[in-house]
Amino acid sequence: MKKSIAVIKGDGIGPEVTNEAIKVLNTIAEQFNHEFEYKECLMGACAIDATGNPLPDETIETCLSSDAVLLGAIGDPKYDNDPTAKVRPEQGLLKLRKSLQLFANIRPVTTYKALQHLSPLKAGKADNIDFVIYRELTGGIYFGKKTLSEDGNTASDDCVYTRVEIERIAKLAFEHARIRRKKLTLVDKANVLESSRLWRKVVQEMAAGYSDVQIDYLFVDNAAMQIILNPSQFDVMLTENMFGDILSDEASVLSGSLGMLPSASVGSKVALFEPIHGSYPQAAGKYIANPTGSILSAAMLLDHFGLNDEANTIREAVNWSLQNGFVTKDIDSANSYSTSVVGDMVSDHIAGKIPGSAKGENIELRKSTII
């Protein structure tokens, strides 16, 4: 199979982790006889520095003419700490989501046996966590009208949703629930917000067409609590943009590290794949960042191409690396490997270069010297 992939490495640790995902994709291409062509483009703080624009038109065009987009991360503290900044890296990401019509952000939340000791939950509570968050990505408060009064003392952000916006993502979530454990949880704040009441109404109406799927409705405050108290109750969680942003960060740490989780954003055009973590500027250039979220995003990208065996090969290799301790510092601070060595190990394992007993001298030598 021949595919072109637009690559936006972005800011902070974005380039470091994305390079590892590309390394792994290249190994998959060799092993399974595919050809992946990468087209690098700019977005975020690096794009502002180079062009003054967080999302140059050229980037949108490159993405639209590719078969998929692989994104690292964007963001820079020099903008976070300046509320008066007129241009921000995040504007690039939001505009890209809108331009590519990426209305559904899919964030699978899973835990790994090898990382159980890192979970903030008590032993046993993090077992059997396996759910998927469907976060609406191109509507709601993120994209509503914004105002700031002339005296600068009053500000507002509108949260607007239309039936069509709710229906199109709900359909994807229902369909996914159907091939999973057949349970859908709608998270909203329907006791307070009109927009949430519309979500509930639309989803209730659609439920008739999915009688095989059991539906639960949870207020977002309760959902935040349930994710900690009893996360294994969830199968598919459906929610609006901002609730999904907050809850998916909360859910991601159940696995033991924010660095583990991938995501896919889909819509009516090209799909985009990115780890859910941010640009982690404090770690940039130190090669300590965990590339797993990015590598697993590459696996989701392959699933999207219909290459499920290839995607599962990546997931098996990641499991193997976790089980054998080839991990970055966030997972094992005493015995850590650099970002690129973790990528090498996953990649070499896929290529069959590392036999069963992997703890050889050569590998020991690669151990990170960064403490």
Q: Which residues bind Mn ion (CB under 5 A)?
A: 245
Tokens of 315: 């997931």
- Contact between 136 and ligand IPM by CB under 6 A: the answer reads no
Radius of gyration of the chain (CA): 21
Nearer to ligand IPM, 67 or 90 (CB): 90
| Contact status, residue 72 vs residue 9, Cβ threshold 8 Å | yes
Catalytic entry in 216, 249, 303, 332:
249
- Contact between 330 and ligand IPM by CB under 6 A: the answer reads no
Site string for ligand IPM, 228-267 (x = CB under 6 A): -----------------x----------------------
Nearer to Mn ion, 22 or 289 (CB): 289
- Contact between 90 and ligand IPM by CB under 6 A: the answer reads yes
Q: How far apart are CA 53 and CA 19, in angstroms?
A: 24
CA dist 211 → 120, 165, 179, 309 (Å): 36, 22, 13, 31
- Contact between 6 and ligand IPM by CB under 6 A: the answer reads no
Catalytic entry in 11, 189, 235, 280:
189
Q: How far apart are CA 132 and CA 129, in angstroms?
A: 10
142 part of the active site: yes
Residue 181: is it exposed, middle or buried by C-beta count within 10 angstroms (0-12/13-18/19+)?
middle
Q: How far is the CB of 61 from Mn ion (least distance, A)?
A: 26
189 part of the active site: yes
- Contact between 96 and ligand IPM by CB under 6 A: the answer reads no
Residue 93 near which of Mn ion, ligand IPM, none (CB within 5-8 Å, type-dependent)? ligand IPM
Q: How far apart are CA 263 and CA 257, in angstroms?
A: 15
Q: How far apart are CA 49 and CA 156, in angstroms?
A: 29
- Contact between 76 and ligand IPM by CB under 6 A: the answer reads no
Catalytic entry in 79, 142, 161, 287:
142
Q: Which residues contact 1 (CB under 8 A, 6 or more apart)?
A: 34, 35, 305, 307
Q: Which residues contact 181 (CB under 8 A, 6 or more apart)?
A: 235
Q: How far apart are CA 3 and CA 305, in angstroms?
A: 9
Nearer to ligand IPM, 66 or 241 (CB): 241
Residue 75 near which of Mn ion, ligand IPM, none (CB within 5-8 Å, type-dependent)? ligand IPM
67 part of the active site: no
- Contact between 11 and ligand IPM by CB under 6 A: the answer reads no
Chain residues 26-65 in contact with ligand IPM, contact rule CB under 6 A: none
CB-CB neighbours of 306 under 10 Å: 9
Residue 235 near which of ligand IPM, Mn ion, none (CB within 5-8 Å, type-dependent)? none
Q: How far apart are CA 295 and CA 76, in angstroms?
A: 23
The footprint of ligand IPM (CB under 6 A) covers 75, 90, 93, 245
Active site residues: 142, 189, 221, 245, 249
